[in-house]
């Protein structure tokens, strides 16, 4: 089964000078991505990649993701449109050659097989990573909590820690 946004590219197209590729989602792909990301809508998605060889088998991709999505505000539960902008660097490596390095600041690695990269799926993954997991509509504030007069059971512990 192909992903919602499938843009395969052969690694042998990437020479010593690199390769620029733009992935743009059509209306049906945007609808499928919205379903996958559990969003009310993905209105537009464009992702530009600059592909360069690094070492004999790996491909570095520097990219710029630009998308317009509809999200649901976690405070008001109203839908609102927002722009997603993300610059990123990822590394495509042959399947089985991924590093065990779990550095959260390091480049993400995406395995590939058969000399083919899927830039569409890479763009979809970057969109998922760039989305705010708790979207808040601009101007919407959390409501003030009203205290019912009784102190919280752990209030005494908090006060005690402050004095130590």
Domain membership of residue 32 (yes or no) is: yes
pTM exceeds cut of 0.75: yes
Those residues of the chain that have pLDDT short of 70 are 1-2, 102-106, 145-164
How far apart are the C-alpha atoms of 50 and 22, rounded to whole Å?
9
Q: CB neighbours (10 Å) of residue 79? A: 14
Closest Cα to residue 124, out of 164, 97, 88, 80? 88
pLDDT at residue 159, rounded to an integer:
62
Nearest residue to 43 (alpha-carbon basis) of 69, 73, 72: 69
CB pairs under 8 A, 24+ apart, for 105-112?
107/60, 112/11
- Return the pLDDT at 162: 61
1 domain residue, yes or no: no
* Residue 44 maps to a domain: yes
**What's the chain's Rg over C-alpha atoms?**
22
Please tell me the predicted confidence (pLDDT) of residue 164.
Answer: 57
The whole domain housing 136 covers 8-163
Q: Largest alpha-carbon pair distance within the chain?
A: 70
Q: Check residue 41 and give its pLDDT.
A: 97
Residue 35 lies in a domain: yes
Q: What is the pLDDT of residue 44?
A: 98
Q: Which of 79, 66, 73, 83 is CA-nearest to residue 135?
A: 73
Q: How many domains does the chain have?
A: 1
pLDDT tens digits for range 105-114: 667 889 999 9
pLDDT for 24:
97
Q: The sheet that has 41-54: what strands, in order across it?
A: 19-24, 41-54, 58-72, 79-94, 108-112
Residue 163 has a pLDDT of: 60
């Amino acid at each position: 089964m192909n992903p919602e946004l499938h843009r395969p590219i052969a690694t042998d197209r990437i020479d010593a000078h690199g390769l620029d590729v733009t992935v743009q989602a059509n209306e049906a792909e945007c609808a499928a991505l919205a379903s996958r990301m559990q969003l009310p809508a993905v209105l537009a998605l464009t992702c530009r990649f600059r592909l360069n060889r690094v070492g004999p088998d790996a491909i570095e991709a520097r990219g710029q993701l630009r998308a317009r999505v509809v999200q649901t505000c976690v405070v008001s539960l109203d839908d609102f449109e927002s722009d997603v902008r993300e610059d990123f660097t990822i590394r495509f490596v042959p399947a089985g050659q991924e590093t065990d390095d779990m550095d959260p600041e390091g480049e993400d690695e995406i395995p590939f097989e058969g000399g083919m990269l899927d830039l569409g799926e890479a763009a979809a993954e970057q969109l998922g990573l760039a989305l705010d997991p708790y979207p808040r509509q601009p101007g919407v504030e959390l409501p003030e909590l009203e205290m019912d007069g009784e102190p919280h059971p752990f209030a005494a512990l908090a006060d005690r820690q402050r004095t130590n």
